[in-house]
Amino acid sequence: MSSKTLILVTGANQGLGYYAAQQLAATGNHHVLIGSRDVNKAKKAIETLAADDSVKVSASDLTPLEIDVNSDSSIAAAAKHVEQSYGKLDILLNNAGIAQQQEAAADGSGPSLRDIYRSHYETNVFGAAVVTDAFLPLLRKGSAKRLAFTSSGLASLELAAKPNTLYSANNYPIYRSTKTALNMIMLHYALSLESEGFVVSAADPGYCATNLNGNSGFKDPRDGAKELVKSVVGEKKDVHAVMVSDDGVVPW
């Protein structure tokens, strides 16, 4: 295992993170840490991945890691565990995210608009930033020096300005704003770490059918996960400091 690239994927017990972990582990070149808030869900995901005959994955190439991106203590504990177990991290894929209601109830029931914004930003933006900061010392010790973020085409201001399209800013205002902010964080790290040999990228997986959207997406998450994989192993010239999709680089 020491010769294999060590990758942490947050939110990897389901959805896009799950399939990205599957595709990475299936190469036989990577050891993937399955990040999850509930370590038992991570263990169950590994069992399911190993039992899936459609894509051959060895359970020995997967390890569960408890990490709640909304908890600083959980993030610190996860980083300490990785340091003690491996001494480094080669690749970090910040994938954990949420997409919940986009407006407060008119009758005042349920969470306030401020609370809805806060919950989205806590996970999608603050969580990714804190995880990156916590694992950066270990990434500096790794050989690959790769950092990636699961973003969305909805983050694009250029696409959002186009009315009467799926990308119009009329749709999903809170969720998409977190991904726009996440892209700025990605770009910050891409420029500030480039001199150290890092490759930093964001991925637009497309509108995939996952629990994130109640499985309403029209795209197979297996296909969307390919963009996540591209962001962490693609050639620097193709992925560094940009957001990639199956159509190429997504405009800002």
Catalytic residue positions, numbered: 175, 179
243, burial (CB in 10 Å: exposed 0-12, middle 13-18, buried 19+): buried
User: Could you tell me the two tokens for 4?
Assistant: 């294999």
Rounded distance, CA 25 to CA 27, Å? 5
The rounded distance, in Å, linking the Cα atoms of 250 and 232 is 16
The token pair that represents 250 in the structure block? 């997504």
DSSP symbols for 165-192:
STT-TTS-HHHHHHHHHHHHHHHHHHHH
Structure tokens at 74: 């959980």
